[in-house]
Amino acid sequence: MGYLNGEVIKFNTPGINPYFLNEQEISKLIKKNETITQYADQVTEIYFFGAGCSSPDKHEVVSNGLSDVFNKAFISVDHDLLGSVYATCGNAEGLNCILGTGSNICYFDGKKIHDGHHGLGYVLGDEGSGTFFGKKVLLAYLYNKMPAELAVEFKKSYPIEKEQIITNIYQKPFPNIFLAGFSRFMASHKNHPFIQEILKAGFQEFVDTNVKDYPKYKNIPCHFVGSIAYYYQEELIAVLEHNDIEPGKILQKPIDELFSFILQKEGIANHAS
């Protein structure tokens, strides 16, 4: 999303993660978007918030990739957690969680983020994420632990053999995204007791492993960003309330709230959203 000459411009690109893309690949990916290239020479400031951007060397990878496209712009690169915090907490204290393809959490004291021990990725962590749930559903099917009526529907939705699954996970790029794709099966069968149990158990694991790691978790709102939190918010809220946790904002995509916050923070226009 951008703001240029009093106009709000919206566009989409595939995900940009410096753990999976180098500078040249990032530049090439962005240049595929005609809306972006149309305005590239007029852009003077860029605020980028993305997964994998928590260290200086990864900042540089993204910044260099962006600079190749926007060569006249000041560029700020930060972790997606900070962007999520701005969208949910604003300037107030709270816990901020991401439940999308992956999962993460941080505590924001109203001024800065306090690092935790989370965000370990899909191999070691990602509790309650799309990858987590996709893996649970897929394993239930492969191990023949899924109820028969659901297994029939799963096979119709994903006519893929075990060998293909193994190849996609162990030999092809982005196995986390591949696994997360199976979580979509839950949406059309959300009310089935088997799916309900998977959802509640997964959200409880996220709470136990991540939220309860913060001593003040019962005293401050717990915000969420991401498609998993958004589409299964009924089940998520039930788990939060069961644990005496105050649900905060639950946003599918934080871009609109983040955009407004950045405009206000930087004093740009009359917040153009």
Instruction: Reply yes or no on whether the pLDDT at 267 is more than 50.
Output: yes
pLDDT bracket for residue 40 (50, 70, 90): confident
Do 115 and 247 share a structural domain? Answer: yes
Asked whether residue 142 carries a pLDDT value surpassing 50, the answer given is: yes
Q: What is the pLDDT of residue 120?
A: 65
pLDDT digits 0-9 by tens, 107-125: 999 998 887 777 666 677 6
**pLDDT range class, residue 38, cuts 50, 70, 90:** confident
Same domain, 75 and 113: no
Q: Are residues 179 and 212 in the same domain?
A: yes
Please compute the mean of the pLDDT values over residues 204-219 and round it to a whole number: 95
Query: For the segment 164-175, what is each residue's pLDDT rounded down to a tens digit?
Result: 999 989 988 888
- Asked whether residue 232 falls in the same domain as residue 97, the answer is yes
Residues in the chain: 273
Looking at residue 45, which CATH number applies to its domain? 3.30.420
Residue 269 pLDDT class (50, 70, 90 cuts): low
For residues 115 and 149, membership in a common domain is answered with yes
Residue 196 sits in the same domain as residue 112: yes
At residue 5, the pLDDT reads: 61
Query: Which band of pLDDT confidence, cut at 50, 70 and 90, is reported for residue 7?
Result: low
- Same domain membership, residue 181 and residue 46: no
pLDDT band at 41 (very low <50, low <70, confident <90, very high): confident
Residue 139 has pLDDT above 90, yes or no: yes
Q: What is the CATH number of the domain that holds 178?
A: 3.30.420.40
pTM of structure = 0.81
Percentage of the chain modeled with pLDDT above 70? 92
More confident residue, 12 or 206: 206
Q: Are residues 114 and 243 in the same domain?
A: yes
What's the confidence (pLDDT) of residue 214? 92
Average pLDDT over the chain, rounded to whole? 88
Task: Tell me, yes or no, whether 23 lies in a domain.
Answer: yes
Q: Cβ–Cβ contacts within 10 Å for residue 61, how many?
A: 22
Q: What is the DSSP string of the chain?
A: -EEETTEEE--------TTT--HHHHHHHHHT-HHHHHHGGG--EEEEEETT--SHHHHHHHHHHHHHH-TTSEEEEEEHHHHHHHHHTTTS-EEEEEESSSEEEEEE-SS-EE--S---HHHH--TTSHHHHHHHHHHHHHTT-S-HHHHHHHHHH----HHHHHHHHHTSS-HHHHHHHGGGGGGGGTTSHHHHHHHHHHHHHHHHHTGGGSTTTTTS-EEEESHHHHHTHHHHHHHHHHTT--EEEEES--HHHHHHHHHHHHT-TT---
Question: Which range marks the domain in which residue 62 is found?
Answer: 2-84+255-266
Indicate whether 143 and 76 sit together in one domain.
no
pLDDT for residue 8? 72
Assess if residue 80 is contained within a domain.
yes
For residue 118, tell me if it sits in a domain. Answer: yes
191-220 average pLDDT score = 96
